Amino acid sequence: MEKTPPYYGSYLQLEKVLDAQAPLSFAPGQSPAHDEMLFIVIHQAFELWFKQILFELDYILSVFQQKKIDDDGEDLNLVRHRLRRINTIFTLLNQQVGVLDTMTPMDFLAFRNLLTPSSGFQSKQFRLIEARLGLEMPQRHHGEYYKRTNEGGFNPQDFQTISQTENEQHLLSCINDWLERMPFFQASFWGNPQIEKEIDHPFWQQFRSIYVAGLTEREAGKAADFDRIFFGIPTAHDSASTGTNKFSATALRAALFIMLYRDFPVFQTSFQILDALIETDHLMSQWRQRHLSMVRRMIGFRVGTGNTSGAGYLEGALQQHEVYTDLAGLSTFLIVRSALPNLPDALKKALGFRLADLSFPG
Amino acid sequence: MEKTPPYYGSYLQLEKVLDAQAPLSFAPGQSPAHDEMLFIVIHQAFELWFKQILFELDYILSVFQQKKIDDDGEDLNLVRHRLRRINTIFTLLNQQVGVLDTMTPMDFLAFRNLLTPSSGFQSKQFRLIEARLGLEMPQRHHGEYYKRTNEGGFNPQDFQTISQTENEQHLLSCINDWLERMPFFQASFWGNPQIEKEIDHPFWQQFRSIYVAGLTEREAGKAADFDRIFFGIPTAHDSASTGTNKFSATALRAALFIMLYRDFPVFQTSFQILDALIETDHLMSQWRQRHLSMVRRMIGFRVGTGNTSGAGYLEGALQQHEVYTDLAGLSTFLIVRSALPNLPDALKKALGFRLADLSFPG
Amino acid sequence: MEKTPPYYGSYLQLEKVLDAQAPLSFAPGQSPAHDEMLFIVIHQAFELWFKQILFELDYILSVFQQKKIDDDGEDLNLVRHRLRRINTIFTLLNQQVGVLDTMTPMDFLAFRNLLTPSSGFQSKQFRLIEARLGLEMPQRHHGEYYKRTNEGGFNPQDFQTISQTENEQHLLSCINDWLERMPFFQASFWGNPQIEKEIDHPFWQQFRSIYVAGLTEREAGKAADFDRIFFGIPTAHDSASTGTNKFSATALRAALFIMLYRDFPVFQTSFQILDALIETDHLMSQWRQRHLSMVRRMIGFRVGTGNTSGAGYLEGALQQHEVYTDLAGLSTFLIVRSALPNLPDALKKALGFRLADLSFPG
Amino acid sequence: MEKTPPYYGSYLQLEKVLDAQAPLSFAPGQSPAHDEMLFIVIHQAFELWFKQILFELDYILSVFQQKKIDDDGEDLNLVRHRLRRINTIFTLLNQQVGVLDTMTPMDFLAFRNLLTPSSGFQSKQFRLIEARLGLEMPQRHHGEYYKRTNEGGFNPQDFQTISQTENEQHLLSCINDWLERMPFFQASFWGNPQIEKEIDHPFWQQFRSIYVAGLTEREAGKAADFDRIFFGIPTAHDSASTGTNKFSATALRAALFIMLYRDFPVFQTSFQILDALIETDHLMSQWRQRHLSMVRRMIGFRVGTGNTSGAGYLEGALQQHEVYTDLAGLSTFLIVRSALPNLPDALKKALGFRLADLSFPG
């Protein structure tokens, strides 16, 4: 097949990629709107990068979908590395939105009507990124709108792809399972105490009392939040302000533990993974925010091409579409490092490298 | 005084600037928190840039506070240039927030309590930037909080400086006056028609009918908005969604006219000035947004050091503190360039350069 | 054709754009190298943006290729705007290079051999950007290499396209002509003096003596440079350090004049155009520099896939491929604003708006 | 002293920081040059960040200056984290240079002469960053110039501080020692073979033959480079193109080994540290490059304020002042992952976590 030596343009299939820009306003009978080319190119560039992000997410999911992750293997190291890459790409995309600021509202108006009812809302790949990260239809802003093809929603085929992806195991669920399997609270490390409920575990008893003692008067309510989040004990008035309970209490205990003791070798990569996920959420929010700000600038208070209420839709999504808020919210429950409970020796040893065990006769 | 030749370090007064970092946690009896240094340095860097922004704003204000601006002079060109500089600086500051992402919540916790009740809220210079741009106390989120020194508000002296600045003429007011003075609707340009109300001006009659004809069914309400915004005609249900009425109808007509005919030489710089002001608003919103996101990441759902509700305060400010929304909202009322009313020849001539009048015998 | 309403994915022809990634290492019989996908996607994104840059350059060229540019028209305003857009895009591309930093040298090695002899050198569109800006084959580093297809040069068809484009009128040449046509030194403005050579023009006589008087001892040689650059008077030792003489002396006098008196209305846009061109050069240099640094990091001191000496080639191009160095070099010949010669009243008037001539009876 | 509660402005000592801008052109008898304020502020912002970078470097040095680094402790994790922070800061500074692009050459000229003979060359902190990273006087471009106070060099006190810092142990030397101590080639891991010279070590014999077999004809010379760099065997023609021999052969062997087997838990953090150092070098080069480009734009081909040859000096530094080129050059000697020699089981075990050894009775 590869008889001809590779050549830059053919390797990159530029004959396809660079032949895919057909501004509607350039068609016969229309008045060419110069800036429609920019509009097409920037969205294609977004989609190329979305494809790359999905490619990285597929790898990351494949690691966490294994029965057992080999902590000595390369998997988690690559997960960390590739999550970071996703964040690097989103950082670029946030800057990329700025290129559209060189299109003025009046330049947009020159071809805007030709686009109706399509809109950026219909980026299937962006919805798939959201879905693989863990966003589900009930959580989506104006979820019912997704299937209204004629009003700017998705066509049936794309809608099905998105729904189907949401029904597969997503990253949030994988991370939850991975965290739940963490063996660090096993009784053997802690002198095999008699425990009825997990809240009675010596570590959490000690930690909870340190945390509660450090709360100011105005923050007193956080004690009940603590019990609800980490031990599933319902509170009188369910505070919406402390996460969305997408993670189990067991998983959140493990995540908090990793954040607290992140400097132990075993936790270094895990901590960076959790941190990168929170960062992904933030960068996607920034993207939505910049996108919203750009749309507002373009169309002011008019209706969006997709018949949505334009900027209004984006504002709703901005608040609802973050998925790792439970993890981000854990910073509510940190304590100062100097007050951290000392860990049992057996556990400390388990959290380190084997290298220290070995003698080097040389 | 300047007997000794300038030397980099003394010219920049580095003996002061680099001697101003005294982390509270480094004091005797405290546990040094390594990251407090970063916390101090980044805020000092912010304040340096805020000083520069105020310096540029002072110049810009001084231009618009003149009785008459010489259109042939350098003033507006410099205003444009320096507004752009302010935007370049805010773009940098938005990136600068990202450096704080290298401080984890737990690193912050190590010195956070020492800061109470001070907080970033108390940046006097940032409040002055807002005030000079046109933000006034009644519009400020939790305005009453500004003077509660003991709870993280301003001390009396700073509060007075801010209030006083708000009472001086701010940029929004200057821009409004400048726009109102634009002579382009003067009767002589338009064949001296008999006009009772400004809405009867031939240009606006024509423009309004083109605009209204282009509205979709769902956008029908914009016609009334048009009349309210550009002619001060009250609407039955005052729609909050189309600006804050900080600019007069006369000024907004001029601003819209500039946006529509921005390619005429006389309007090129004016258009860029209006565009830059909208951009300033957007960049400051981005800054508030990134700041909010950073605070959420740091403290989760705890109370802020300044006793505010932390992230809650910032969220309020995010929505209320934009000042040039009237200008940004004008994009609601644009029409496609090809449908623009043709201007009277006398006016077109007036909008151009004198160069074309001259013959060059060579 | 457009019976079906536009849909995001079809409008953007995503079925082509997202079907164009075929990593060679994913072919049967190869070991899939995960990062080859990133490698392909990032280069495709570069090429999409290159297409956009060429599209903007085409417009800009079309303006300058007119017999007469209407100073009162929108053309120059749009040229300024779209040159700025090109610079915004290059700024983005410079950041985009950073995404490749997430690919480590060893990750690259996993598919690098499959690419031989193709290489980024072969980006036809990038060469066309260079060519349209004004780079010609004799100036290209290792120009003879461009046609050696088997060793990583261009195939005959691409080579011909590049050569042909170089033979068409490029932007540098257009800008030179535009500058040469500037009428500001016409005798009538200056009281019709008797002048034998252009150096005797009253303005240049005065300006030259101010400039020379301001030179320090170490800079004394600049006086001869001045005469050579602005009046074509050969110097004893031709100093390579003051530009490449791609612009004519007449054009450079006009460019310097614009830089000096840029605040006059007629010059504001022209100045921004010259400034943007210098910026384009700088941004492309930055791109080459970042590209070089990335290649060095990837392959160290090995031979590039295109059989070039790898980083060596890029280093050569870095120094030779800037095209607007003559314009950039004009900053050598500026004087302080306060020392600027006062212009004749007739000329000052010609540089302003017509608006000031008109009386407004109101 | 801290009886009064902390207040934002006093905590940050803004009374000092914001009182340190005294443009020379604003002094009585001078013509105020508006942009001198920007010039001062941006340099002060640079210096603030340089202070932060030095603060981080001090910590990093303190870790490596320990007799023994506890691999199970937090030290290396923090080194990695804080090196990354330094890189984040340099990334910001590279963007910050761009703010100076809003000052045109003519704006600079308005106050430039007042600065002579001081110049950015005299940033003591920047020199100290270079020195702590590992740059020494003999390697500095125009090193003799550093002490010529009257011609824009350093004053005696600053010169001494810089020289003294260079004589202290710098990071490059620490990293070299740390790498040399790596125990992975100890005979016990490899079945205690009889080895006369290190080149006979079973790993390096095997690796060398794989590497050499993979070289193309044009790269044949790399085999000798390999022996010189990793085993100190002199080559006939000393190739300057493969590093500067600042690291010992022993250290470079360890560094290459880490790069090759970076996915093993023990190497993950070490690899990121080496990678971050190479990145620091690149970012500082970018900074020098952008600085050079900015200076060229400002003064063209004139002499710099510090009497240096202006841009010429910066160009020299650009090439000579990188310090971790030996590490960066290691990418020359990588092989594809699939060809990597398999490691002895005892060693593989030693490179992992202890966790896997433990049984969890639960």
Q: pLDDT (tens digit, 9 = 90+) per residue, D185-217?
A: 999 999 999 989 888 999 999 999 999 999 988
List the single best residue of A334, A335, A338, A340 to mutate versus B (max B Cβ within 10 A): A334
Strands (DSSP E) found in chain B: none
pLDDT at B356: 67
**Relative orientation angle of helices D265-299 and D311-320, to the nearest 10 degrees:** 170
Q: Using CA atoms, how far apart are residues D231 and D251, in angstroms rounded to an integer?
A: 11
* Domain membership of residue A148 as a residue range: 33-66+74-354
List the single best residue of A17, A116, A159 to mutate versus C (max C Cβ within 10 A): A17
> A344 vs chain B: nearest CA distance in angstroms?
22
Q: In chain B, whose CA is at the least distance from the CA of C347?
A: B355
Residue A152 belongs to a domain? yes
Using the beta-carbon criterion (under 8 Å), do A186 and D264 form an inter-chain contact? no
> In chain D, how long is the greatest CA-to-CA distance?
85
CA dihedral for D271, D277, D278, D282, sign (positive or negative) = positive
Size of interface A-C (CB pairs under 8 A): 161
Q: Using CA atoms, how far apart are residues C207 and B74, in angstroms rounded to an integer?
A: 21
Asked if residue A32 lies in contact with residue A40, where contact means CB atoms within 8 angstroms, the answer is: no
Instruction: Tell me the β-bridge partners of C353.
Output: B353
Q: For the whole model, what pTM was predicted?
A: 0.95
> B205 vs chain C: nearest CA distance in angstroms?
19
Counting the structural domains of chain D, the total is 1
Structure tokens, B37 = 């240094």
Phi then psi dihedrals of residue A353, to 5 deg = -85, 155
Asked if residue C333 lies in contact with residue D322, where contact means CB atoms within 8 angstroms, the answer is: no
Using the beta-carbon criterion (under 8 Å), do C286 and D301 form an inter-chain contact? no
Distances (CA, A) of B55 to B51, B67, B132: 6, 21, 11
B306: closest CA among B146, B189, B126, B98? B146
In this structure, the dihedral spanned by the alpha carbons of residues D85, D87, D89 and D92, taken in order and rounded to 10 degrees, is: -140
Sequence-distant (≥ 6) Cβ neighbours of residue C133 within 8 angstroms: C57, C170, C171, C172, C280, C323, C324
Q: Using CA atoms, how far apart are residues C213 and D201, in angstroms rounded to an integer?
A: 71
> A39 vs chain C: nearest CA distance in angstroms?
10
List the single best residue of A272, A358, A359 to mutate versus D (max D Cβ within 10 A): A358
Helices (H), chain C: 8-11, 14-17, 36-64, 75-97, 105-115, 124-133, 156-167, 171-180, 202-213, 222-231, 249-260, 265-299, 311-320, 325-328, 345-350
Confirm or reject contact between C293 and chain D (CB < 8 A): yes
Q: Which residues 222-251 of chain B have a CB within 8 Å of chain A?
A: 222, 225, 241-242
Sequence-distant (≥ 6) Cβ neighbours of residue B285 within 8 angstroms: A293, B318, B321, B322
Structure tokens, C267 = 């010059």
pLDDT at C316: 73
Structure tokens, D211 = 């590497």
B277: closest CA among B162, B143, B133? B133
> B77 vs chain A: nearest CA distance in angstroms?
20
A116: closest CA among A246, A305, A265? A305
Q: Which residues 48-67 of chain B have a CB within 8 Å of chain D?
A: 48-49, 51-52, 55, 59
DSSP state, residue B54: H
Q: Which of B300, B332, B333 sits opposite A331 (nearest CB)?
A: B300
pLDDT in tens, B59-97: 999 999 998 898 888 999 999 999 999 999 999 999 999
Q: Using CA atoms, how far apart are residues D114 and B5, in angstroms rounded to an integer?
A: 9
Instruction: Tell me the β-bridge partners of B264.
Output: none
Q: Which amino acid is at B83?
A: L
Confirm or reject contact between C8 and chain A (CB < 8 A): yes
Residue A25 belongs to a domain? no
Kindly list the residues from chain B whose CB atom is less than 8 angstroms away from the CB atom of residue C361. Answer: 186, 188
Instruction: Tell me the β-bridge partners of B353.
Output: C353
C283: closest CA among C83, C103, C124? C83
DSSP state, residue C146: G
Place of tokens 């090193």: D143
Asked if residue D46 lies in contact with residue D110, where contact means CB atoms within 8 angstroms, the answer is: no
Q: Using CA atoms, how far apart are residues B170 and B173, in angstroms rounded to an integer?
A: 5
Using the beta-carbon criterion (under 8 Å), do A48 and C17 form an inter-chain contact? yes
Sequence-distant (≥ 6) Cβ neighbours of residue B354 within 8 angstroms: C349, C350, C351, C352, C353, C354, C357
Residue D157 belongs to a domain? no
In this structure, the dihedral spanned by the alpha carbons of residues A218, A220, A221 and A223, taken in order and rounded to 10 degrees, is: 150
Q: In chain C, whose CA is at the least distance from the CA of B79?
A: C263
Structure tokens, A314 = 């984006």
Chain center to CA of C2: 39
pLDDT in tens, B288-306: 888 888 888 888 877 766 6
Q: Which of D41, D88, D89 sits opposite B52 (nearest CB)?
A: D41
Instruction: Tell me whether 0.90 is exceeded by the ipTM.
Output: yes
> In chain A, how long is the greatest CA-to-CA distance?
85
Asked if residue A132 lies in contact with residue A170, where contact means CB atoms within 8 angstroms, the answer is: yes
Q: Which of A7, A22, A41 sits opposite C118 (nearest CB)?
A: A7
pLDDT in tens, B300-337: 877 766 655 556 666 777 778 889 999 999 999 999 99
Q: Which amino acid is at D33?
A: A
Q: Using CA atoms, how far apart are residues D205 and A103, in angstroms rounded to an integer?
A: 61
Secondary structure of D277-289 in HEC code, one letter for each residue: HHHHHHHHHHHHH
Structure tokens, C166 = 């170089």
Residue D201 belongs to a domain? yes
Count of CA atoms in the C-beta half-sphere (13 A) of A189 = 22
Task: Give one word for A29, left, alpha or beta, with left for phi > 0 and alpha for psi -120 to 50.
Answer: left
> D216 vs chain A: nearest CA distance in angstroms?
17
Sequence-distant (≥ 6) Cβ neighbours of residue D124 within 8 angstroms: B8, B9, D154, D158, D161, D162
Q: Using CA atoms, how far apart are residues B108 and B33, in angstroms rounded to an integer?
A: 8
Confirm or reject contact between D8 and chain B (CB < 8 A): yes
DSSP state, residue A169: P
Q: Which of C297, C303, C336 sits opposite D328 (nearest CB)?
A: C297
Q: Which of B19, B84, B123 sits opposite D8 (nearest CB)?
A: B123
Q: Which residues 82-101 of chain B have a CB within 8 Å of chain A?
A: 101
Distances (CA, A) of A209 to A195, A330, A339, B190, D58: 17, 17, 11, 80, 37
Q: Which amino acid is at B65?
A: Q
Q: Using CA atoms, how far apart are residues D114 and D116, in angstroms rounded to an integer?
A: 6
Distances (CA, A) of A91 to A129, A321, B279, C96, C144: 15, 18, 20, 10, 40
pLDDT, mean of residues D240-248: 67
pLDDT in tens, chain C (362 residues): 446 789 999 999 999 999 999 999 999 999 999 999 999 999 999 999 999 999 999 999 999 999 889 888 899 999 999 999 999 999 999 999 999 999 999 999 999 999 988 888 899 999 999 999 999 988 898 888 888 887 888 999 999 999 999 999 999 999 999 999 999 999 999 999 998 988 899 999 999 999 999 998 888 889 999 999 999 998 765 544 444 679 999 999 999 999 999 999 999 999 999 999 999 999 999 998 888 888 888 888 777 666 555 566 667 777 788 899 999 999 999 999 999 999 999 999 999 998 766 655 44
Helices (H), A75-217: 75-97, 105-115, 124-133, 156-167, 171-180, 202-213
pLDDT at D357: 67
Lowest mean pLDDT among A282-296, B148-162, C307-321, D138-152: C307-321
Q: Using CA atoms, how far apart are residues B310 and B348, in angstroms rounded to an integer?
A: 54
Count of CA atoms in the C-beta half-sphere (13 A) of A41 = 25
Arithmetic mean of pLDDT over chain B: 90
Arithmetic mean of pLDDT over chain D: 90
> For position A153, which CATH number holds?
1.20.58.480
Q: Using CA atoms, how far apart are residues C44 and C35, in angstroms rounded to an integer?
A: 14
Confirm or reject contact between D32 and chain C (CB < 8 A): no
Q: Which amino acid is at A197?
A: K
Residue D146 belongs to a domain? no
> For position D334, which CATH number holds?
1.20.58
Residue C195 belongs to a domain? yes
> B160 vs chain C: nearest CA distance in angstroms?
39
Sequence-distant (≥ 6) Cβ neighbours of residue D136 within 8 angstroms: D166, D170
Residue B344 belongs to a domain? no
Residue A253 belongs to a domain? yes
| Local mean pLDDT, 10-residue blocks, chain A (362 residues) | 79 98 96 97 98 98 93 92 98 95 94 89 95 92 83 91 93 96 92 90 96 90 93 71 75 97 94 96 90 85 66 70 92 94 94 74 42
Q: Using CA atoms, how far apart are residues A269 and A261, in angstroms rounded to an integer?
A: 12
